[in-house]
Amino acid sequence: MKIELHMIQNFAPACLNRDDTNSPKDCEFGGIRRARISSQCLKRAVRRSFREDGLLPAGNLAIRTKRLVDEAVRKLTAAGKDEAAARAAVGAALGGIGLGVSDDGQTQYLLFLSQQGIDALSHLCLEHWDQLSKLAKAPAEDESGKKTAKKAKKDAKDAVPAEVKAALEAVLDGRSAADLALFGRMLADLPTRNIDAACQVAHAISTNKVSMEMDFFTAVDDLKTDADDAGAGMMGMIGYNSACFYRYAVLDLEQLLDNLGQDSDLARRTVEAFIRASALAVPTGKQNTFAAHSRPDLVVACVQDRQAPLSLANAFVAPARATESRDLTQVSADKLADFWTKVTAVYGDGAAGTFCCGTTLPTELPSAWKNVGSLDKLIASVLQVAQPGGRP
């Protein structure tokens, strides 16, 4: 069973997600230039909302960081251990499961770990302190006498006793972390602890053709006097645009339950938090400049048994255009509903329930869509139909 989210969301001028040129991200779709917000940016906003808006307890959330050693050392020093010895012990522990630590004390790549996993790592370092603190930490040498990272990593893994290694790998289970279960994890050096994402999030693309705008701005030096030159203290350019976005995500309930160790209560709370955060969380890019805080104009949630998910992005291959009687959001909502009606007439919808709410509903609501009136009621309707751990 899957839960699909379709949203229409219009933004006033903004630069929510920038590219390497400091301009809003965009793409070509249907032969037309569109505004774009990357899926990574949207997922980051959702994860921040989980924590900052209190949608899920901190103990059920994960942290993505290269600074795992610092976090573990902080806990070990609080327990009375010497900082240098603690760093060596944590480095040996991570090396024992193939997660190398660079010379700057950071892991070689970002690790996505549950808070409980980080706490358990520190506890294991304390439990096996004598064994870990005695392990050799000098890199191995090859036949020519040169130090090799590959040989050092292998020796580090071999040095840790098997029972300690098994305990360390177990703390990376991640079954208590909702965002880890949703968005997955890949550990290149520890593939047995990879987690398949239960959720797929599409890049948001504008339903309309987008035009890039540039803002030339200046800043005044408050301490300049009349005797100084009349120029500004600084000046610059920033790109922005205004667009109406189509957003799509699909959540696989079976995969979510599997990732959460069949904890149906946590799965239910995760679904609720994900839908709420998806609707309300907004990327933070250049918000101090544009304050682009808009709610979705239309939210559609479809609970379905269809084998393959169905994005409705192709509703906007021909871009939406405002008319004298209908604004851009209304035209976009109408195009979405019309395309859904056409594609499900051919392939079927497989839906156990389709619910919608918003400030801009389609002019003609598809017969299968139930307008529930509010986001709270939409979430409640979805959870009533899609029972995590059971069938509707």
The predicted-structure confidence for 166-195, as pLDDT tens digits, reads as follows: 888 887 877 889 999 999 998 888 888 889
Angle at the Cα of 364 from the Cα atoms of 358 and 365, rounded to 5 degrees: 55
The residue type found at 376 is D
In a domain? residue 190: no
Angle formed by the axes of helices 115-127 and 68-78, to 10°? Answer: 50
Structure tokens at 84: 């240098």
- The upper half-sphere exposure of residue 53, i.e. CA atoms within 13 Å in the direction of its Cβ, equals 16
Do 164 and 221 belong to one domain?
Answer: no
In a domain? residue 183: no
Quote the pTM value: 0.88
- The predicted model gives 330-352 an average pLDDT of 93
pLDDT in tens, 302-328: 998 877 899 999 999 999 999 999 999
Do 75 and 161 belong to one domain?
Answer: yes
In a domain? residue 171: yes
- The predicted model gives 352-380 an average pLDDT of 95
- Pairing mode, strands 199-201 and 111-114: unpaired
Do 251 and 283 belong to one domain?
Answer: yes
Quote the pLDDT of residue 390.
Answer: 53
What are the φ and ψ backbone dihedral angles of 28, each rounded to 5 degrees? -105, 130
Residue 141: alpha-carbon gap to chain centroid: 41
Do 72 and 147 belong to one domain?
Answer: yes
- The predicted model gives 109-131 an average pLDDT of 87
| Residue bearing tokens 């060596």 | 88
Quote the pLDDT of residue 181.
Answer: 95
Is 392 a residue whose pLDDT tops 60? no
Quote the pLDDT of residue 139.
Answer: 52
- Pairing mode, strands 369-371 and 351-358: parallel
Do 108 and 203 belong to one domain?
Answer: no
- The predicted model gives 89-97 an average pLDDT of 86
- The predicted model gives 192-214 an average pLDDT of 93
Do 289 and 378 belong to one domain?
Answer: yes
In a domain? residue 189: no
Do 326 and 224 belong to one domain?
Answer: yes
Do 263 and 314 belong to one domain?
Answer: yes
- The upper half-sphere exposure of residue 117, i.e. CA atoms within 13 Å in the direction of its Cβ, equals 25
Do 213 and 318 belong to one domain?
Answer: yes
User: For the chain, what is the domain count?
Assistant: 2
Longest dimension (CA), the chain: 79
Q: How far is CA 17 from CA 23, 183, 254, 284, 299, in A?
A: 8, 19, 32, 8, 22
**What span, in angstroms and rounded, lies between the C-alpha atoms of 336 and 286?**
29
Q: What average pLDDT does the chain have?
A: 89
In a domain? residue 220: yes
Do 380 and 309 belong to one domain?
Answer: yes
Do 156 and 219 belong to one domain?
Answer: no
Do 290 and 164 belong to one domain?
Answer: no
In a domain? residue 233: no
In a domain? residue 391: no
In a domain? residue 206: yes
Q: Which of 93-107, 111-125, 220-234 has the lowest mean pLDDT?
A: 220-234
Q: What domain range includes position 91? A: 64-176
Quote the pLDDT of residue 138.
Answer: 47
